[in-house]
């Protein structure tokens, strides 16, 4: 199957893209790669991976998915890193009960013990 983090026109498979990160074979090497793998985890409802890659200082106790939400696409607008800090700005499209939603976020990431972690994000959402 095509990896959820990729455009519909791309043929990159989940097995070659985000699955190794989800299985813990290796950590995501960049903030953008971590963002992509986290998007795929949302699309696949992989709460353990999302919580594992969330910085402990901001990680929720549990993660509830929106019932019926289908993630449709991810577009990386910008990605930057310097040292052990990084940001990724993205737009993600989803559908809930037939209604389209657009999520725009600039996410902040930190690298600790060689692993990138999601810290937080400035979110904007529009229907």
pLDDT tens digit sequence for 15-63? 999 999 999 999 999 999 999 999 999 999 999 999 999 999 999 999 9
What are 96's strand-pairing partners? 69, 99
Say yes or no to pLDDT of 11 above 90.
no
pLDDT at 127: 45
Taking the chain, what is the end-to-end CA distance rounded to the nearest angstrom?
28
Domains of the chain: 19-126 (3.10.450.50)
DSSP structure string for 45-77: T-HHHHHHTB-TTT--S---PPTTEEEEEEEEE
pTM (two decimals):
0.94
Is residue 124 within 8 Å of residue 104, measured between CB atoms? yes
What are 87's strand-pairing partners? 80, 108
Say yes or no to pLDDT of 123 above 90.
no
Q: What is the tens place of the pLDDT at every residue in 82-119?
A: 999 999 999 999 999 999 999 999 999 999 999 999 99
């Amino acid at each position: 199957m095509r990896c959820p983090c990729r455009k519909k026109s791309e043929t990159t498979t989940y097995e070659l893209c985000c699955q190794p990160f989800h299985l813990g074979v290796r950590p995501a090497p960049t903030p953008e790669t971590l963002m992509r793998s986290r998007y795929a985890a949302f699309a696949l409802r992989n709460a353990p991976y999302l919580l594992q890659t969330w910085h402990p200082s901001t990680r929720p106790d549990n993660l509830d998915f929106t019932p019926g939400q289908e993630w449709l696409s991810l577009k990386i607008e910008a990605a930057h890193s310097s040292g052990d800090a990084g940001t990724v700005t993205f737009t993600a499209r989803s559908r809930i009960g037939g209604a389209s939603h657009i999520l725009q976020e600039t996410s902040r990431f930190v690298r600790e013990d060689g692993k990138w972690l999601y810290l937080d994000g400035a979110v904007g959402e529009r229907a």
